[in-house]
Structure formats: C-alpha cells, structure tokens
C-alpha cells in the first residue's frame, strides 16, 4: 500500500451526557479537570485506545491490522512474532548488528500492526524491535465550557457471600458530567507516514474510527457519548502549506444566541462554524461528520 502524500490536521468534537468520559485514577476516578478553569479533559491516550478498539472490531484479525498495544498483551511476545517471521534469533535488549535486519524487524512491526504504523511505538524492551515515530498525534481534548462533575450514590441489591444476606445493601458512588462538549486536535504527517507505510486505506480507517468508535464503546460509566464533528484540513504539499494553529483558529465553537444563560445540556446549545474563506492557499477543508 502506498503511503499518504498529504499532510492533515483535524478538529474532533464529541460530547458526553451523564457519564464520565475519562476518569482520573489519582482522584478516585473523578472526571479529569483543568483545576484553573474547570474545563474537562480527556487524554490523548484515552482517544487512541478507542481508535485501537474500533480497528480491532472492524478488522477482526485481518492481516496487517493487528493491534500491538492491547489489553493484557505481552509486548515481548509481540516482538517475537517479528523475529520468528523473519527467522532472526533475538539477543537480549539488542537489535541485530546488521542494520538491514534491524530495519526489517521494525518494518515488519509497522506492516503488521495498525497502531504501530499510525501512532508509533517504543519497542526497545528485552526483545528489541526498535523504535517508531508515528505520523498521527493527538492532543488532549478539552471541554468547550467548564463542566461540573457530580457524585451519584448507587446501591447493589445482590451480595457476594451467603453470610452477607442479612446485611444492608452495599452503597457505592459513581462520578458523572451532566453534559460536556469536548474539542480535540489531531495531526498527521505525510513525511512520517512514508517511514511507517501509513496508507490511504489506513487514513480512511482512521476517519471511520473517529466517526464510529463511541458506538462500540458503550458502558454504564461513560453514559451517552457521541462524535459530533470531524473537520479535516488537507495540505497540498506533504510538508504542509500553513501552520496548524492557524487552521484550528478557523474553527469556532460558540454557544447559540441566548443559550448561555443556562448550562449547556446538549449539542444543540452550540454553533460550529468554519471560516473556509480565510484558509491559506494550498489548504482545503472537509467535514467528515
């Protein structure tokens, strides 16, 4: 497959209703917050995890679309697959001395694992498969407005052991955000894609992942989450035709007139506009969602 020939940036908008989009384990699983602004945060790692999960579901083991960083995977065993496929004997913590063989190992990992050729990976473990800098990077998602996390009490009607039958039911708590619209920025480098083999087919899969990943990520903890907008900027030149921040400035997310008198409780409370006329020459914009 031919690597992509254009640089891209994208703005991704998603929202949550009565759920916890990304709990902080250091804060009792409270929704992540910027303490100075009370804007909600969702980490890049969280979003990449959902992309990986979607690709794994859609491709279901198809050749070239394995997931390197998956739950309970042993990374050394993932690396061993490359050594076995290329009939190379691993040496503890070291790549093969022959540079060609070392490149071949890393190339095999890129070819066979979608997330390695997309996001990159540091594979310098005991079974060393090299290091890859991926073409796709994502920033933290930040809520457009401040959010107010709520703590909700819940009860469990069942018990674990017979001896607990007469005890009062177990009380628990869950944390939710009543509503939050989050904005994330993403970057795709054509020059780095050349090194990993990230292709047009992979790019189309990424757009499908961002569009549909919440549809396959339902849980009681996350409530209702939905992808709302995916705005993609495409550069004619592989090195890019304009700085990314200037393109992001062309996308404005504002409250609908009059709706800012009360807290937002739905996507309909916002207006999203793209100033396409102000884009630099050589950059086009497309709304994928």
Tens-digit pLDDT string for the chain (289 aa)? 789 999 999 999 999 999 999 999 998 899 999 999 999 999 999 999 999 999 999 999 899 999 999 988 899 999 999 999 999 999 999 999 999 999 999 999 999 999 999 999 999 999 999 999 999 999 999 999 999 999 888 877 777 777 776 776 677 788 999 999 999 999 999 999 999 999 999 999 999 999 999 999 998 888 799 999 999 999 999 999 999 999 999 999 999 987 677 899 999 999 999 999 999 999 999 999 8
List of long-range contacts for 247-254, beta carbons under 8 Å, 24+ apart = 247/9, 247/279, 247/283, 247/285, 248/9, 248/11, 248/185, 250/274, 250/275, 250/276, 250/278, 250/279, 250/285, 251/11, 251/275, 253/13, 253/144, 253/181, 253/183
Residue 179 forms beta bridges with which residues?
A: 17
Stated pTM of the model: 0.93
Tokens of 14: 């998603």
What pLDDT does residue 168 have?
A: 65
Q: Is residue 6 a contact partner of residue 235, using CB atoms and an 8 Å limit?
A: yes
What pLDDT does residue 68 have?
A: 96
Q: Assign residue 199 a region (left: φ > 0; alpha: ψ between -120 and 50; beta: otherwise).
A: beta
């Amino acid at each position: 497959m031919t690597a992509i020939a254009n640089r891209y940036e994208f703005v991704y908008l998603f929202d949550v209703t009565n759920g916890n989009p990304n709990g902080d384990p250091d804060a009792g699983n409270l929704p992540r917050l910027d303490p100075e602004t009370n804007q909600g945060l969702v980490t890049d790692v969280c979003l990449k995890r959902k992309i990986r999960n979607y690709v794994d579901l859609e491709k279901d083991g198809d050749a070239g679309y394995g997931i390197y960083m998956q739950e309970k995977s042993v990374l050394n065993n993932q690396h061993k697959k490359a050594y076995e496929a290329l009939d190379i004997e691993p040496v503890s913590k070291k790549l093969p001395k022959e540079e060609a063989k070392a490149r071949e190992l890393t190339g095999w990992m890129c070819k066979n694992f979608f997330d390695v050729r997309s996001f990159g990976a540091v594979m310098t473990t005991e079974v060393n498969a090299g290091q890859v800098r991926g073409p796709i990077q994502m920033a933290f998602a930040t809520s457009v407005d401040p959010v107010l996390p709520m703590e909700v009490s819940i009860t469990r009607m069942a018990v674990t052991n017979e001896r607990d039958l007469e005890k009062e039911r177990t009380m628990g708590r869950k944390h939710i955000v009543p509503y939050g619209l989050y904005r994330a920025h993403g970057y795709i480098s054509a020059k780095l894609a050349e090194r990993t083999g990230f292709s047009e087919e992979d790019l189309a899969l990424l757009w499908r992942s961002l569009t549909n990943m919440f549809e396959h990520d339902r849980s009681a903890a996350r409530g209702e989450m939905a992808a709302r907008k995916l705005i993609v900027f495409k550069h004619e030149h592989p090195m890019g035709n304009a700085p990314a921040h200037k393109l992001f400035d062309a996308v404005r997310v504002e409250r609908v007139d009059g709706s800012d008198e009360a807290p937002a409780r739905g996507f309909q409370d916002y207006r999203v506009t793209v100033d396409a006329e102000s884009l630099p020459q050589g950059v086009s914009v497309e709304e994928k969602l």
